[in-house]
Amino acid sequence: MATHKIFTWLDLRRKSKTLNLARNEIAMAIKTVTELKEAITAFAEGKRAEIEERLKTLFADEMTIDDLRRLVFEELTRESLPSKYREDLMHIVKRLDVMADQVKDAARNVKILLDIKVPSEIWNANVKIAETLVKESDLLGSTIEMLSIAPPQARELAKKVDQQENIVDDEYLKAKASLSKYTKELDFASMIILRDLLECMEQIADTCADTADYIRVLAVVK
C-alpha cells in the first residue's frame, strides 16, 4: 500500500475550504501555460489583438493564483489536516505558484516583443516549445489527480512529464543556437529578450518536471 494516502482531498474531502482553494490554484497555474501558448501562437499569426487579450487574461489569472496561494496557507493554519497532508500540500502549491510566476515572466517578454519583427524560424521554435509545455503541464495535472486514485499510474504519468521536459530541453538548445544566425536582423536588446523568453520557457519545463518528481516520491508503493 502507499506510504500515505496524501491528497485524498482530491476526491474524498472536496468540502474542505483549504483543499478546494488548493485545487483551484493548481488548475489555474496549469491553465496559464495554455494561455501562454495561445499568445505565442497568435504572435506567429500576427494577431495582435488576440495576443493582448491572452496576455491580459494570463496576468489576471497569475494575480488570482497569488491570492489563492496566500489563502491556502492561511487556511492551513486553521484546519486540522494531518501534518503530513499539510506539508505535502504546501509543497505542491508552492511549486505550481513558482511555475505560474515563470509563465508570467515569459508572457512579459512576449509583450515586449510585440513591436519587433521576429524571424519566423525563431518564433516557430517558440511555438513548438510552448505546445510541448502545454502537453507537459497537462500531464502534470493528471499526475496530481491520479495520486489519490492510482499511485502506480501517477508514477507512470510522472515519467511522461519527464519525457516532455526532455523534448523542451532539446528544442531550447536548438532555438538558442539559431539566434546567432540573426545578428544582422535583430538588435542586441531584441536578442536578449528572445533569449530570456526561451530561458523562461525552459524553466517552466524544469518546474513541471521537478513537481512530477515530487509526486513520484509521494506515490511510491511499498
Question: Cell numbers at residue 22, please?
Answer: 488548493
Helical residues (DSSP H) of the chain, grouped into ranges: 17-44, 48-76, 83-112, 120-147, 151-178, 188-218
Whether residue 129 lies inside any domain: the answer is yes
Phi and psi of 148, rounded to 5°? -90, -10
Distance (Å, whole) CA 56 – CA 59: 5
Residue 1 falls within a domain, yes or no?
no
pLDDT value of position 147: 83
Within a domain: 21:
yes
Residue segments in the chain with a per-residue pLDDT below the cut of 50: 1-7, 9-14, 221-222
With respect to residue 102, please indicate whether it lies within any of the assigned structural domains.
yes
- Identify the burial level of 216 via C-beta atoms within 10 angstroms of its C-beta, where 0-12 means exposed, 13-18 middle and 19 or more buried: buried
pLDDT of residue 13: 47
Could you tell me if residue 107 is inside a domain? yes
Q: What is the CATH number of the domain that holds 104?
A: 1.20.58.220
Category of 195 on φ-ψ map: left (φ > 0), alpha (ψ -120 to 50) or beta: alpha
Residue 163 main-chain phi, psi, to 5 deg: -60, -40
Complete DSSP assignment for 59-89: HHHHHHHHHHHHHHHHHHTTS---HHHHHHH
Quick check: 165 and 206 in contact, CB under 8 A?
yes
pTM, full prediction: 0.89
Kindly state whether residue 2 falls inside one of the protein's structural domains.
no
**Count of domains for the chain:** 1
Q: What residue numbers bound the domain in which 82 lies?
A: 8-218
In a domain, 148, yes or no: yes
Structural domain includes residue 177: yes
